[in-house]
Copies of this chain bind each other. A is one copy, B any other.
Amino acid sequence: MSDLELTQIGVIYTPFKERKGTPIQPKMGKGIEGRIEVFDKYVPGLKDLDGFSHIILLYYFHLSEGYSLEVIPYLDDKHRGLFSTRAPKRPSQIGLSVVRLKEINGDTLTIENVDMLDQTPLLDIKPYVPNFDEPQDIRIGWLKERLKGMHHKKADDRF
């Protein structure tokens, strides 16, 4: 399809200038603060968002190019199917992170638990709602044995 369009609504600023050393998930970026600047024309859409403690950010992996359908993820040493991983190099380079929303001030959101690179293009903000987003009776496949020690894990330059 040629008519799929993306619209950037703002920019995410974080302390991370390169993939290497960046937290691989928001939990590993716990307490690390970032900032979102929403473009002026979209600011009215932020109304009521301050009631939510957590937001889902959809963003564009702007520094990732190309992808492989099998990758060795940060948390494993085996090749895994790309869609069973959260690796940033994907056919549609869309990242998803649930972050804590600390404050909204005009066009600027202060957020916490960031795991994306500085100057990441923001595509969408959705409120995080456990009742919508948290299923029950979950199995997590290859990751089950790999989550131990993940809190010390940082990205390297593989992606």
Task: Tell me whether chain A's interface is mostly helix, strand or loop, or mixed.
Answer: mixed
Least CB separation from A1: chain B residue: B8
CA distance A144 to B52 in the complex (A): 10
Total copies of this chain within the assembly: 2
Q: How many residues of A are counted as interface, with CB atoms below 8 angstroms from the partner's CB atoms?
A: 68
Binary contact readout A131-159 vs B (1 if CB under 8 angstroms, 0 otherwise): 11111011111111001001000000000
Residues of B within 8 A of A121 (CB): 1, 4
Please give, as numbers and ranges, the residues of chain B lying within 8 Å of A50 by CB-CB distance. Answer: 141
A60 touches B126 (CB 8 A): no
Asked whether any CB of chain B lies closer than 8 Å to the CB of A48, the reply is yes
> How far, in whole Å, are A92 and B42 apart by their CA atoms in the complex?
12
Are B44 and A81 in contact (CB-based, < 8 A)? yes
